[in-house]
Amino acid sequence: MQLSVIAADLFTQRADALIVPIDGAVHASESIDRILGNIGRQLVRRFADADVLEQIESQLDLPLPLGRATAIECEGTPFRTLVLLSTLHHTDAHDEDSKRALVRRSFSAAIECAARASARSVLTGVLQGGWRMSATEAFAAMLSALDERAPIDSITVCCLEEEQSRTLRAHAASVGW
């Protein structure tokens, strides 16, 4: 498996699957747009003609427990699959160790979900959630979930800033990636 960390806009990249963090604790009776974080809201805006929100609403069963992932098919975007990952649930208090464990468990669930959806390439941002974790700390937790034998050919992590991508690439190299 190839791991890349790049400074780029997520939505200008191509991949079989895009990881989209959501608040899976929202109940189905509430407005579906309430589940979306920054990545999801940008996806809806950037691909307005694709009716992404409607595609999510028609395929997603809520609530989705914290740390779990589900795949939906998505037409009209560069990603045939959206891996909706429940990481934005803010009601539970977590200490630093449990936050790292949640990022690790969540990222592992997202990769497994993408593989079950036959994705060979996965695109993601750094999964910092709403937990006020640093990008480096969250990325380290994500790396700890990766297995070279994962049935995914490539994972690309996008950062908005070049400096951050350099820092994360250096960290990945320091632990053998």
Q: Going by DSSP bridges, is the β-strand pair 69-73/81-86 parallel, antiparallel, or unpaired? A: antiparallel
Structural domains of the chain, count: 1
Give the range of the structural domain holding residue 65, as residue numbers without chain letter: 2-174
Q: What is the dihedral of CA 39, 150, 144, 107, to 10 degrees?
A: 30
Task: Give the domain CATH number at 136.
Answer: 3.40.220.10
Interatomic CA distance for residues 52 and 74, integer angstroms: 7
Report which residue type is found at 54.
Answer: E
Q: What's the confidence (pLDDT) of residue 108?
A: 96
| Local structure of residue 11 (DSSP, 8 states) | G
The answer on pLDDT for 127 being more than 90 is: yes
What does the angle CA 12 – CA 16 – CA 22 come to, to the nearest 5 degrees? Answer: 80
105-122: pLDDT as tens digits:
999 999 999 999 999 999
Q: What is the model's pLDDT at position 93?
A: 61
- What are 49-103's pLDDT values in tens digits? 999 999 999 999 999 999 999 999 999 999 999 999 999 875 556 788 988 999 9
Question: Per-residue pLDDT tens for 8-43?
Answer: 999 999 999 999 999 988 877 778 888 999 999 999
